[in-house]
Structure 1
């Protein structure tokens, strides 16, 4: 049974596997395209449409279409369609189901085991929500890995004999991050990462849509705002995306804006577009510079390559600006598909290693032979290591005994090596306490802060304390952040052995909720 890699994107998604000659191959959808728009059209309570048709339907049925759901992952932001609230995990599950079903049609094999990629800057909550989306879709999620790692795996396969320090600049449809990595002997080590999961190509689209609407309003001041009409807005946003893509290859282009029977013809040059969105690009440069400064503090003084990932890196100004700011020449490496291909390679390799660990070398040899791997390649895969880092800081909320001021004490810090296991004692502040509330938080801003307002609550629970204990009674707290960035927290009272185990549960979806959603959504037709 083949294993698959899935790039679950904000605007487009795709799925890949390792074919019979060992090549990572993207599987086309039923519409014949490599990528599928991450758009869901709730045509009826029992029928959901995903992809290009759903995107087209947004113009006619804007209230029944959901897009950019990736930006909601890890948040309690359900969307109500046909009277039923759908969580971000459930909506993402429909996209995953479409990818898996189309891949099964293409290969004749059911898609069961998958690796799903996420932005490097996704925290524990978003990663856990992505894992749950896969489970709701009926898939076995082998692992969640960062998109830059997947891209680096693809890069490493294309350049197998080269040890390199690379900077991955990943500008996708809805997220942006930069990651510094070392590739040595096939092993991958993440040095540091940074990013913004509220910044991506969709923001360039939005800026263009606002510009087109403003030009229309200037020409037709007595007409309504096209962005306030759901149908006109959807068409305008589609035109804006097409305009962005066109201006990546042409110096100028003309768009017709239609609303309330009025028409405006808007001509825009590439130079004007770049000026209009300069601040967005500047934000990516600021993050890139910050990442390089962090890497410099860890001993990285030079780079062999800058690898561009994500469809939005096709904008010429990206390469031009990176060259100007950092004197580095970026290389565009299959930006739309590199992540899915890398995830497929990782899925294949992890399956091979898992079989070896399970004491099943014959099965490992079987899949290696099917992929045409040499003995040397098998040895390299068996020994390959991938070392990554925490994308955010994680801690718990503590209260000062005297001032009663609440603050955050971080146990894991951004760019700490993973997996990370930290155990630390905390203490009650009052005599006779019968319990303590353990609040687990994750860094929400771009820098670490001990102010609870600058952190997001991702889990909480109450640990019982034996009666009659004095103030200062110890509580042992353990953070375990695995290599995939998924977090588990345990609080323990030593005398009784009472334990509180906190699994990250955002959006109200427990494992029981996931099982119920999986059963309910399995009855929905996805096409």
Structure 2
């Protein structure tokens, strides 16, 4: 069993695929040549709420139990932690502070326990999916979360690539069709990815061509609009600002989320929150039509087309050249989203498998292929090759901050990974300077303020030289996982220095152990 850093020995356990979602997560494995999403023992659902709730006795609940307790104990509950990944700011909950990767590790630990109970085998490793548009800080934090949970993180797999694997296998097209140009529209609980992919079924190849997205746009934003509609209605009727009451607000949010789900099947639904203002014995009860809901969220739906427009401005293709549009993420169940996507591409989008399970299924396929004991891998790859080729791209440009505050982009957006680029035009700024800080940023802006700081790499012990003399080289390498490595070289001495990026998000093995030991134990699922 997982459970902090004291896991089973390397190579002794099973490898699973995990979709670590903003609002819900899923875990899948391969059995008999087919990927399968595990169902949880206490609810029988294939998706697990990404909710963490801290008991007064110090233990932790995760998943559906935590979601059920969230209304009574909102101050002891953490939701949507995925949106905080990459932040160095701790989360204050139940009188303690935890880093976002620590909270995420509890979710991972729980889903692994559920997987072990379902599979009947220990789980040692995992392929964990991340939004394609995640920058290096968010990927680093996700990998750290897996390590804190005691997992051997075999790979961070972009969610669109995982969806392509799942859809391709489901349709039994591997080895039976020529290449297709596919587009993955992935609207999850808290993030949005738009990705153009070329799939060659004959040689088992999934090549990402371009990606765009929004790490702060997802289904929870649609829920927020219903919450606002309810609280405004309550205030109009009672003159009470119910949003100032955490417990009542948690009840409202639960009903708002439920109403959103109902409106995927119904044209209208009764939204009711009993005794939401108890001092007035007031119950909120109003009809919400699908038309009104779509009106409340029209700008959110429209916002998903901005990354699409941006992507096709960079691409050598137009929307009408796309052969197939794949939908992933639970939020694509909203009818107006399906209509928007179909209108944009002028074709019906595919939902042939459960969009909430597609990413976990794809991760399980990748896990089986890279697992040394993956005996079922060949059965999943009926193409001419015995492996699968996944080619991803850099989601956002990477560069260094210059002395004037501008950014020198070294690796550009949409470059295939793994990749490396070297520049030899850097120099010192001050006389007698013996170290250089290489401040690394990610994004498309021309100045540091417009981009996200990834961290600082430091070149130390360089001999003094005249300021401004171009005598230093920096090489950026991006691994298959999309992780950044930096090498610096003093061109005067030929000395190369592997420079670790100094950031609070990069944890040593000892720090990983300490972060795991700081966490309370999970209650039994």
C-alpha displacement of 1:467: 4.4
Q: 1:311-322 maps to which residues of 2 (within 5 A)?
A: 311-322=330-341
Hey, what does 1:10 align to over in structure 2?
22
CA separation of 1:526/1:141 partners in 2, compared to 1, >3 Å: closer, same or farther? farther
User: Which of the numbers 152, 166, 169 marks the counterpart of 2:164?
Assistant: 152
Aligned length: 498
- Distance in 1 separating the partners of 2:125 and 2:139: 17
User: Which of the numbers 204, 219, 225 marks the counterpart of 1:207?
Assistant: 225
C-alpha displacement of 1:61: 0.7
CA separation of 1:499/1:522 partners in 2, compared to 1, >3 Å: closer, same or farther? farther
Hey, what does 2:256 align to over in structure 1?
240
Hey, what does 1:416 align to over in structure 2?
415
Hey, what does 2:401 align to over in structure 1?
397
C-alpha displacement of 1:292: 2.5
CA separation of 1:496/1:515 partners in 2, compared to 1, >3 Å: closer, same or farther? farther
Q: Are 1:427 and 1:474, in contact at CA under 8 Å, matched by a contact in 2?
A: yes
Q: What SS does the aligned partner of 1:381 have?
A: coil
Hey, what does 2:435 align to over in structure 1?
435
Pick which of 130-139 and 288-297 moved more.
288-297
- Distance in 2 separating the partners of 1:74 and 1:45: 29
Q: Are 1:50 and 1:526, in contact at CA under 8 Å, matched by a contact in 2?
A: no
Q: What is the RMSD of the two structures over their aligned residues, measured on CA atoms?
A: 2.0
Hey, what does 2:9 align to over in structure 1?
none
Q: Are 1:487 and 1:504, in contact at CA under 8 Å, matched by a contact in 2?
A: no
- Distance in 2 separating the partners of 1:452 and 1:226: 40
Q: Are 2:22 and 2:50, in contact at CA under 8 Å, matched by a contact in 1?
A: yes
Q: What SS does the aligned partner of 1:331 have?
A: coil
C-alpha displacement of 1:155: 1.4
Q: 1:490-509 maps to which residues of 2 (within 5 A)?
A: 490-494=487-491, 495=493, 497=495, 499-503=497-501, 505-507=503-505, 509=507
Hey, what does 2:41 align to over in structure 1?
30
Pick which of 168-177 and 460-469 moved more.
460-469
Q: What SS does the aligned partner of 1:440 have?
A: strand
Give yes or no for the alignment of 1:449 onto 2:439: no
- Distance in 2 separating the partners of 1:468 and 1:107: 61
Q: What SS does the aligned partner of 2:391 have?
A: strand
Deviation string for 1:254-273 (max 9, x for gaps)?
11234222112111100110
CA separation of 1:502/1:317 partners in 2, compared to 1, >3 Å: closer, same or farther? same
CA separation of 1:143/1:48 partners in 2, compared to 1, >3 Å: closer, same or farther? same
Q: 1:257-336 maps to which residues of 2 (within 5 A)?
A: 257=273, 258-261=275-278, 262-296=282-316, 302-332=321-351, 333-336=353-356
Normalising by structure 2, we get a TM-score of 0.90
Give yes or no for the alignment of 1:126 onto 2:138: yes
Hey, what does 2:187 align to over in structure 1?
171
- Distance in 2 separating the partners of 1:246 and 1:525: 31
Q: Are 2:58 and 2:520, in contact at CA under 8 Å, matched by a contact in 1?
A: no
Normalising by structure 1, we get a TM-score of 0.90
CA separation of 1:86/1:45 partners in 2, compared to 1, >3 Å: closer, same or farther? farther
C-alpha displacement of 1:398: 1.1
Q: Are 2:86 and 2:505, in contact at CA under 8 Å, matched by a contact in 1?
A: yes
Q: What SS does the aligned partner of 2:104 have?
A: helix
